[in-house]
Amino acid sequence: MGMSQGYGPTDDALSLSTLRKSLALGVTFWDTAQSYGAGHNERLLGRALAGCRDEVQLATKFGIVRDDAGVHLDGRPAGVKAYCEASLRRLGTDYIDLYYLHRIDPGVPVEETIGAMVDLISEGKIRHIGLSECDAAQLERAVAVHPIAALQLEWSLWWREPEDDVIPAARRLGVGVVPYSPLGRGFLAGSPLPTSFGPGDFRSGDARFVGPAMDRNQDAFGKFQVLSERLGVSPAQLALAWLMHQGADVVPIPGTRHADRVAENAAAGDIQLTAGDLEAIESTVGRAEWAGDRRSFAAFHTQRTPL
């Protein structure tokens, strides 16, 4: 996403170089969406995948629409096939490995949207179905229509609410877990953050980056950094390793625009944490150490009215 929107100015040449570096490193699960840059991100990945499409497990999403009217949700069954075909054209491929409903449209029963997605499997356009940011009850209803391969949601050391209900539900239902923003929208990566966010950087609307919550989070990160130094890894690597140690069903998708960060993140897959390491992380920077509620930032996803 960050290669097309959300974190300030982008550079296609830099992004393409980073994507190609990720392939060389064996990073072969790529995630995009029709809404990222209003189609720009899918076209960018299509350029990067020319000649090497089958080397990547490609995931994209539909359901959040960015157009001249603003941002709105659309999960109507009648539109699912057209959204998929548009993504296929932008990506330059004839199939999508994992196709997500990006957000559930509150005006459409999830069963109806999933039913339309099942038709895409029978047509060979997609291979697996996923959901993004649903609750436990919605996931249960979706699985009753068709097996759901993956649930994408925000999950990291500094946002652990999904552990209360939706992750246990996913595990009970045999659904894989794909945490996005596993580095806390860059916060857990250890890079110096700007004192203020410029135009196009959506972190300016996230309560975790503002005021007393940010001060508290900076304190927690300082403790986390000490732990990472003790283990001889970067904070980003430790944050990713912690997630991957939550279960074999967890596949985090850290985003970046820079090749050196791809290499750093990929190396996290080789880190082995002991039970003592995990206990130290929990006792030092457990859930209660972090502040700020991401739900106010994400509230527009529950609205149908264009913004």
Q: Which residues are catalytic?
A: 36
Write the CA distances from 191 to 78, 111, 183, 223, 253, integer angstroms: 44, 42, 11, 15, 18
How far is 251 from 247, CA to CA, in rounded Å?
9
Q: Nearest to residue 135, comparing CAs of 100, 185, 170?
A: 170
CB of 91 closer than 8 Å to CB of 49? yes
H or E stretch including 247? none
220: burial class by Cβ within 10 Å (0-12, 13-18, 19+)? buried
Q: Nearest to residue 39, comparing CAs of 96, 101, 88, 104?
A: 88
Contacts of 85 (CB under 8 A, 6+ apart): 125
How far is 212 from 299, CA to CA, in rounded Å?
21
CB of 83 closer than 8 Å to CB of 34? yes
How far is 249 from 296, CA to CA, in rounded Å?
29
